[in-house]
A and B are shown apart, each in its own frame.
Chain A
Amino acid sequence: MVKHIDAIIVGAGWAGSIMAKELTEAGLSVVMLERGSERTTPVEGAYPESIDELRGAIRKRLFQNLSQSTLTIRNTMDQTALPYRQLAAFLPGEGVGGAGLHWSGVHFRVAPEDLRLRSAVIERYGEKFIPEGMNLQDYGVSYDELEPFFDKAEKVFGTSGEAYKVQGKIVGDGNVFSPDRSDNFPLPAMEDTFSASVFRDAAKNAGYHPYSLPAANASRQYTNTYGCQMGPCNFCGYCSGYDCYLYSKASPNVNILPVLRQDPRFSLIPNAHVLRVDLDSTKTKATGVTYLDTKTRKETSLSADLVILGAFQFHNVHLMLMSGIGKPYDPISNTGTVGRNFVYQTITSSRVWLPPSTYTNQFVGAGGAGVAIDDFNSMNFDHGPLGFVGGSPVWVNQAGVKPIAAALGAGGGGTPRWGSAYKDSLVNTYKHSLGIDAHGSNMAYRDVYLDLDPTWKDAYGQPLLRMTFTWKDNDIRMNQYVVSKIEPIARAMGATKMNLVHLNAGQPFDTRTYQTTHLGGGAIMGENPQTSAINRYLQSWDVSNVFVIGSNAFPQGMGYNPTGMVAALAYWAAHHIRTTYLKSPGPLVKA
């Protein structure tokens, strides 16, 4: 017999670790189940073995092992979805820390109007402005409500940045479009790499408003709210896809788990793949979860009062579908909510070449460091004459370009991909160029969604999740518009050559090249149980002792990277669990 547990948490990433910390603080006994293995910086991050591109980002040491489970993907509903057999377009995490161990560290808040995008668009342009088939929705929570939790998260992550406005006063040269903050960043902004500094000057000359990317890479030594320590980042260039060897990049492993592991109320079970949340006969209450020990292949059921899903966006959706939590979304009848509003992130990377006397040293970098402009993000510009919804920050985020990645990506688009001419361009591009990204929003559509695949199964016999996704006209035009704004910046940089890359009309989503791991939606938050799977506290509308934490909650994809928002939503949900739910368990919002 297993003793009774107050709360089970599925997944040991940021979402799970934040919830585990909060719930143990509230006095609950917490068991965290993680399908992957144990991971700690002294082992996975140890220098110099961790500074190995082949073993790291290329052979994908730290990411999800697709041989055990994956998903199937198709562009449109009339196609047969096929398995995502090799990691490429996105790289989900696995193992303690989740993708929080190998993320880059760009740590944003949110553009306030993105939280109420439907209302904001209608107020400005009228309801007719929203294209047919676009499921534009509000989150049901405001920036002011979330602000304390953004602040809390930044102080846990040790975020480096420069503020614009704190408590109504302009305090620095930060992002003029960013909302008011209750406090400054805990650490000063990361230094600009040479490439970023060139972009900053050029963007200013072109009339835009450059700012330092907020980075969960420590610009100084830092001790966080929990007493966990970080060392200063040295721009080693091995953030993205790697475990930071210097304890400089925020991760659950460095910033939360060291204290959590010492708490007798907390236990962590690695190699525990949760198969489903168990429900009682009414299907309105969870009784616990059933997991498989991936080493022994033995199934175990644990009982608990509260179940938190923090398994990452699409794994959360998969677990809900496997468990019968909520009603599966059906795009034909437009009913159900689980799987609805699946979204991603538009991203295109353009390239600018500087004169041969100038070396961009692209191997120098930090995952979260860089300079961005928000002039074409969110509702910061007039969409009226443009006729699309959404926007993109534009940035130089030199995270450290390594040689294999550079070599694989060089050539193409009409230029040789091998041979001596290819080598010429590879060497020239590596030494003298820099990348500029348009990293933008992606709206939700009625025929873009997640459900269960009818054919393929994972290693545990469960159906794979099926993703139906492609780029739509609204988002393609948005990307094209924003990319066109890069040209004057590149000119002001003194570019000798530029390659502006944008999405093309009708271009389908391609699973073969890395874009981002910023997948969202599928179990979204909202104020209406007909159009959202979870309420504004991230509580299942249908099973009130299940909370679903992650970017699955986003009704549409925003221009910013998701993790800052995920962390704030986790602290927000935890706050309401602690202050309200635990006193009287039940729905926090009446359906």
Chain B
Amino acid sequence: MEPTLNNPFRRSVVKGLLGTTSFWMASGNARWAEALAAEAAQPYQPAFFNAAEYQFLESACERLFPADHNGPGAKALGVAEFLDRQMQTPYARGENWYMSGPFEQGPANLGYQLPFVPKDLYRKGIAGVEHYARQQYGKGFSALSALQQDEILTALEGGSVQLGDIPGRVFFEQLRTNTLEGAFADPLYGGNRGLGGWIMLGFPGARADFMDWVNQEGASYPIGPVSISGETA
């Protein structure tokens, strides 16, 4: 089912939780810090991923999109929740992909040719990375240092690791893509908490009216973002 506007659960959770401080607040990103506090108070219960898989996602996504001086990272933005919720949509079942066989492999530039839909890629990919982490470092991914986690992600991106049926690079690209989606999609889908992704970029969200701002000679747009459900920051 597609999320609908009748379920603005994020807003109701966030409301009323003011006053949490963190180093990000110094840069004015107060809103997602509130959301972070809300999340701590009432953690999301994943429905597709098991606890270990979810923990992997929380760690790996944070390395891909870490909290830093630019603003919040994947964890604060709710990227893992976003991913879990996406796994319950037609997208995760590959319903818009052509998935008829035979599945023959060819040059990379001719595109994706595996018989796996996103749900499969995550199940198999996470298991494969955990296996690789234990093999290389003797520990599960989340127990490794940030440096070691980055080494694994770099190896996956570079294409030198095979994760069972799945090339490491394919899993990496899937994870990177969905992580960035989770950071910047409308909060309706569980990520971009407190509009933190949009604040970072100066993107006004669903305002969709720039009649008086077509050309202001390079001045910065002055109004903060608004989400589809009406959340502002």
Query: A residues within 8 Å of B by Cβ?
Result: 47-49, 51-55, 58-60, 65-67, 69-70, 73-75, 79-88, 191-194, 197, 232, 234-238, 245, 354, 357-361, 363-364, 402-404, 406-408, 417-420, 423-424, 426-427, 430-431, 455-457, 459, 508-512
Contact = CB atoms under 8 A, between A and B. Distances in A.
B214 A193 contact: yes
Contacts of B65: 418, 423
B130 interface: no
Interface string B10-50: 00000000000000000000000000000000000000000
B109 A75 contact: yes
Nearest to A233: B211
Given A73-B110, A408-B177, A426-B201, A48 B208 contact: yes
19 contacts: A49-B228, A60-B96, A70-B98, A85-B111, A86-B112, A192-B214, A357-B218, A359-B202, A363-B204, A403-B201, A418-B157, A423-B66, A423-B71, A427-B70, A457-B100, A510-B109, A511-B109, A512-B108, A512-B109
Interface in B153-208: 153, 157, 176-177, 180-181, 183-186, 188-189, 197-198, 200-206, 208
A54 B181 CA distance: 7
A194 B100 CA distance: 47
Contact of A407 (B95, B183, B219, B220): B183
A430 B183 CA distance: 15
Contacts of A407: 180, 183-184
Given A47-B208, A67-B95, A82 B111 contact: yes
A417 to B, nearest CB: 7
User: 5 smallest A-B Cβ distances: which pairs?
Assistant: A403-B184, A236-B208, A358-B218, A54-B185, A407-B180
Given A83-B113, A359-B220, A360-B218, A418 B153 contact: yes
Nearest to A71: B98
Chain A interface mostly helix, strand, loop or mixed? loop
Interface string B204-226: 11101111011111111100000
B23 to A, nearest CB: 14
Contacts of B91: 59
Given A82-B106, A234-B208, A360-B218, 19 more contacts: A74-B110, A75-B109, A75-B110, A194-B214, A235-B211, A235-B213, A236-B209, A354-B218, A359-B221, A363-B204, A363-B221, A364-B210, A403-B197, A406-B184, A407-B183, A418-B63, A424-B70, A456-B100, A456-B102
Chain B interface mostly helix, strand, loop or mixed? loop
B209 A406 contact: no
A509 B109 contact: yes
Contacts of A87: 96
Given A80-B104, A237-B208, A364-B213, A359 B96 contact: no
Nearest to A420: B68
A487 B214 CA distance: 25
B1 interface: no
B113 A82 contact: yes
With most chain B CB atoms within 10 A of its CB, the pick from A87, A88, A234 is A234
B70 A423 contact: yes
A235 B96 CA distance: 30
A48 B228 contact: yes
A70 B106 CA distance: 17
B151 interface: no
A499 to B, nearest CB: 19
Contact of B97 (A85, A235, A354): A85
Contact of B150 (A60, A84, A419, A508): A419
A471 to B, nearest CB: 11
B135 to A, nearest CB: 23
B113 A404 contact: no
A403 B181 CA distance: 9
Given A67-B96, A235-B211, A88 B176 contact: no
B198 A403 contact: yes
Contacts of B215: 191-194, 197
Contacts of A191: 214-215
A52 B192 CA distance: 13
Interface string B48-83: 000000000000000111101011000000000000
A419 B66 contact: yes
B214 A359 contact: no
Contacts of A66: 96-98
A359 B219 contact: yes
A84 B183 CA distance: 28
